[in-house]
Amino acid sequence: MQDGAAGVELDVRLASDGVPVVIHDATLRRTGLREGIVARMTSGELGQTDVGSWFNRAHPRLAEAEYGRQFVPTLDQVFGLFKKRDTRAEVIYVEMKTDKAEDTYIDLADSVAQLINDHHLRSRVVAVSFNLRLLAWIKLIYPSIATGALFEPRRNPIRMLRKHPMITAAVECGVEQILLHRLVATRRLVDLATESDLRPVSLDR
């Protein structure tokens, strides 16, 4: 944000006490350098877990002492940071992570939506996910919150694009945006998304 970015994207999972926390991985093995499953730990336990030292070890040329003092924050804490920056209206893409076997996606959706409303960030947050059921739930219960459907390449992208199931799925779950992996973001698919009143966003990941 200090470098003037127009927005950020962050990943959110549900801790065992029902609190949304900001972390990408389902486990602490990579960034926490320890064993531990995020969904089985409380937000308090995660808030005491060092998830910054790994970066200094992996990228010594970019290492900073302050990175070693970074812990897993709650989404409430991160939203609080943005609320202090009202002079800048950065867009916040909140990706809600759910595992295939996870049955708590409604709890995650409700918790994230509640925080968006509590912090009055509806004009700045786009709630996104690969879980289209989660997005459909948010649009049903919280229609004023902007949403986006995430898609990535499959084994046979050409066949997939001919049938355009991504466009159909995005429209059916009621989202405003469709977030496409750069490998499938063709001009034809972007035009189809626009024709379907979807805002296409390409991801370089």
* Domains detected in the chain: 7-151 (3.20.20.190)
Confidence at residue 189, expressed as pLDDT on a 0 to 100 scale: 86
Distance from C-alpha of 4 to C-alpha of 25, rounded to nearest angstrom: 27
pLDDT at 194: 93
Question: Which pLDDT tens digit goes with each residue over 185-205?
Answer: 888 888 999 999 999 987 765
User: Rounded to an integer, what distance in angstroms lies between the CA atom of residue 55 and that of residue 27?
Assistant: 16
Amino acid 154: pLDDT: 64
Position 136 scores a pLDDT of 95
pLDDT of 54 reads 94
Q: What is the pLDDT of residue 141?
A: 94
The residue ranges of the chain whose pLDDT is under 50 are: 155-157, 160-161, 163
> Quick one: what percent of the chain has pLDDT higher than 70?
91
Q: How far apart are CA 20 and CA 150, in angstroms?
A: 19
Cβ distance 28 to 114 under 8 Å? no
Q: Using DSSP bridges, classify how beta strands 91-96 and 20-22 pair: parallel, antiparallel or unpaired.
A: unpaired
Nearest-5° Cα angle at 107, 105 to 111: 120
Amino acid 171: pLDDT: 93
> For residues 17 and 8, what is the distance between their CA atoms, to the nearest angstrom?
26
The owner of tokens 């499953």 is 37
What stretches of 13-104 show up as alpha helix (H) in DSSP?
43-46, 53-58, 75-83
Please give the model's pTM, rounded to 2 decimal places: 0.89
Residues 94 and 73 sit within 8 Å (Cβ to Cβ): no
What values do phi and psi take at 193, rounded to 5?
A: -65, -45
